[in-house]
Amino acid sequence: MARTDRKTPGRLGSGLLILAVCLGAGFAVNRWRQGDAEPETLSCVRPAMGTLVEIRVPAAGGVDARAETSRAVQAALDEVARVDTLFSSRLAPPAPAASAARAGERLAVLAVGLEVLRESDGAFEPRIRPLVDLWGFDGDQPRLPDPTLLAGEVDRLASLGAPADAAELESRPELLHFGAWAKGYAVDRAVGVLESRGQAAALVNAGGEVRGYGRDWTVGIRHPRLPGAIMARLRPGAMAVATSGDYEQFFEQDGVRYHHLLDPHSGRPARGCRSVTVLASTCARADALATAVFVLGPAKGLDLIERLPGVECLIVDAEGRRHDSSGLAAYLAGD
């Protein structure tokens, strides 16, 4: 009998929302390191993008300042919900009046995916929806796909060749699956809203895609096999952080774990890693690169990261061994 584990906000009791955000997908600790005392913060959580999104902002000042902080946080959460409508197949599309802006924004996000596709030699693949559908990872009952159907979809994907540009990707929307980097983009947009609303510091966490500014945040990386355990702490500064792990969405059948991080060249779950954490300049890029490195495996994945300026990573391989990129030590925090 198969066992299924998924991050599903609707299955969490309200008292567990904050805990679920902190422990659910790679990041176990989000705290301030600014002076001796931890300042009071406003923390709001909302389900979106198939996960839980938490925003934390200092709640300093008087009543008016706190009210403005609350409005800024709600505006940022609304922006995440808007991004969800832009990329989710489960939600109705935006109104026709917004179609031109919507098209331009989708192309910009697809350009990020195309860049990582090229950098990773196809390990990251935006046109993977038919494979995801065969495995059922967007539904409540993922399953082993028919081998013949799976092989057919892999062959069809290979026959598409490398896309020339983002417009070519957008021309086949039925193939696109934004799950590997849309959450990261939503985090970037939420940070932009908070900054534009005058918030001097904030942290946004969308189920493990994290970006903060204005304070020396510490982010704890979850151990991929020990619930509640932290295997490393990072001080990312201005960098965004994203983790991809085989514990996020998976089912077990006959003692084998089948997870949602599919290798587009085989159509099956990638087997070289348990988790990959990437630091990059934007959360969308970190999100996509974390998936690419996971698919590539520890050796090729680390080689990719070492070739890219301004990017670092922490990999836990299939045997539980840890691999750090050469510049990661600058971001590691002690206890």
- What single string gives the DSSP state of each residue in 184-214? HHHHHHHHHHHHHTT-S-EEEEETTEEEEES
| 3-state secondary structure (DSSP) of residue 87 | helix
pLDDT of residue 33 exceeding 80, the answer is no
pLDDT of residue 12 exceeding 60, the answer is no
Instruction: Report the alpha-carbon distance of residue 167 to residue 60 in Å, rounded.
Output: 45
Pick the more confident residue, 58 or 90: 58
Nearest alpha-carbon partner for 95 in 104, 107, 84, 86: 86
Six token digits for residue 260: 């949602």
pLDDT of residue 18 exceeding 90, the answer is no
Nearest alpha-carbon partner for 316 in 335, 306, 301, 331: 301
CA distances in angstroms from 285 to 17, 145, 150, 187, 245, listed in the order given: 27, 30, 28, 11, 16
Nearest alpha-carbon partner for 183 in 289, 49, 275: 49
Instruction: Report the alpha-carbon distance of residue 218 to residue 237 in Å, rounded.
Output: 9
Six token digits for residue 226: 């020990």
Instruction: Report the alpha-carbon distance of residue 105 to residue 284 in Å, rounded.
Output: 13
Q: Look-up: residue for tokens 């919507």? A: 102
Q: What is the pLDDT of residues 185-214, one digit of tens each?
A: 999 999 999 999 999 999 999 988 999 999
Planar angle of CA 53, 59, 60, nearest 5 degrees: 155
Q: Look-up: residue for tokens 């609350």? A: 70
Percent of the chain at pLDDT > 90 equals 75
Pick the more confident residue, 285 or 91: 285
CA distances in angstroms from 303 to 69, 298, 312, 328, listed in the order given: 42, 8, 11, 14
Mean pLDDT across 32-60: 79
pLDDT of residue 37 exceeding 70, the answer is no
Residue 89 is predicted with a pLDDT of 61
Residue 43 is classified by DSSP as E
Q: What is the pLDDT of residues 256-281, one digit of tens each?
A: 999 999 999 999 999 999 999 999 99
pTM: 0.87
Instruction: Report the alpha-carbon distance of residue 168 to residue 148 in Å, rounded.
Output: 28
For the chain, list the domains and their CATH numbers: 3-88+180-331 (3.10.520.10)
Q: What is the pLDDT of residues 71-108, one digit of tens each?
A: 999 999 999 999 998 887 654 444 554 577 788 999 99
Mean pLDDT across 308-325: 98
Please name every residue paired with 259 in a beta bridge, in sequence order, or none if there are none.
250
Residue 124 and residue 291 in contact, taking contact as beta carbons nearer than 8 Å: yes
